[in-house]
Amino acid sequence: MIEWIISILLLVGGCFILVGSIGLVKMPDFFMRLHGPTKASTLGMALLLISAMMLLSSTQETLSVKEILISLFLLLTAPISAYMMIKSAIHHKLESIERTTGKDNIEDDV
Amino acid sequence: MLEIVILIVFAMIGLSLLLNLWRLLIGPSIPDRILALDTMYINTIALIILYGMSMGTELYFEAALLIAMLGFVSTVAICKYLLRGDIIE
């Protein structure tokens, strides 16, 4: 029974990571490209780490908390690195396509 | 069944690493390349976790934790360098 749960979590996590990388390649400009890896890949990593924790806890009869530490660290640091990257993109004044809205709200760089 | 699923997820993550490498090669600007490298280290953590799962050992998770911390610090440092022209002011 727990093997089925681990397998489903692994497959869903792998699909999320793959979708994030496809979005990184296929999206037209940087402001759209940032969405794929910072959201989908992070969620896929969290699912994969939860499945690893379940597998090792079921085989070794002890609760392993290192995976929770890694997934918490990734979930905390992904928004910060995305913020730093979007700051550097605004600083470099990257061009965007027509449909990207909200660029008028950007204040002048300090 | 779990072995087959682990192999399938290995293939998925390898394919996504190749896609990240493609974006790293063609990326038209520098933030694109930083984003591709950031995604690549996250996917490398996934590969190490999967290898530890298939081996059934807990030894590799410490390497995953180290890669996570160093990757975050390097991403923030290079973005800071692009923003200010200096890392520690």
> Does any CB of chain B come closer than 8 Å to the CB of residue A37?
yes
Interface test with A, best of B39, B74, B86 (most A CBs within 10 A): B39
Asked, for residue A48, whether it belongs to a domain, the answer is yes
Contact A10 B69 (CB under 8 A): no
User: Over pLDDT 70: what percentage of chain A?
Assistant: 96
Can you give the pLDDT at residue B62? 87
pLDDT at A109 over 60: no
Asked, for residue A102, whether it belongs to a domain, the answer is no
Asked, for residue A109, whether it belongs to a domain, the answer is no
Q: How many CA atoms lie within 13 A of A77 on its CB side?
A: 22
Q: What is the DSSP string of A14-73?
A: HHHHHHHHHHHHH-SSHHHHTHIIIIIIHHHHHHHHHHHHHHHHHHHSS---HHHHHHHH
**Which residues in chain B touch residue A41, judged by CB atoms under 8 angstroms apart?**
39, 42-43
Can you give the pLDDT at residue A108? 62
Distance CA B50, CA A109 (A): 42
- B25: exposed, middle or buried (Cβ count in 10 Å: 0-12, 13-18, 19+): exposed
> Does any CB of chain A come closer than 8 Å to the CB of residue B54?
no
Give the residue numbers spanning the domain of A33: 2-94
Contact B13 A6 (CB under 8 A): no
Contact A17 B80 (CB under 8 A): no
Give how far Cα B58 sits from Cα of A67, B68, B71, B83, Å. 10, 16, 21, 39
Distance CA A95, CA A31 (A): 9
> Does any CB of chain A come closer than 8 Å to the CB of residue B60?
no
Q: What is the DSSP string of A72-88?
A: HHHHHHHHHHHHHHHHH
Asked, for residue A73, whether it belongs to a domain, the answer is yes
Asked, for residue A76, whether it belongs to a domain, the answer is yes
Asked, for residue A99, whether it belongs to a domain, the answer is no
* Least confident span in A58-67, A85-94, B10-19: A58-67
Convert the pLDDT of each residue in B9-62 to its tens digit: 999 999 999 999 999 999 788 899 999 999 999 999 999 999 988 888 888 888
Nearest to B9 among A11, A66, A73 (CB): A11
Residue B56, helix vs strand vs coil: coil
How many CB atoms are closer than 10 A to CB A4?
11
> Does any CB of chain B come closer than 8 Å to the CB of residue A106?
no
Contact by Cβ (8 Å): A109, A58: no
How many CB atoms are closer than 10 A to CB A74?
21
Q: Choose the most confident range, by mean pLDDT, from A59-63, A101-105, B32-36.
A: B32-36
Predicted-complex ipTM score: 0.89
Closest residue, chain A, to B76 (C-alpha): A81
Can you give the pLDDT at residue A19? 93
Domains of chain B: 2-84 (1.10.287)
User: Considering its fold, how many domains does chain A have in total?
Assistant: 1
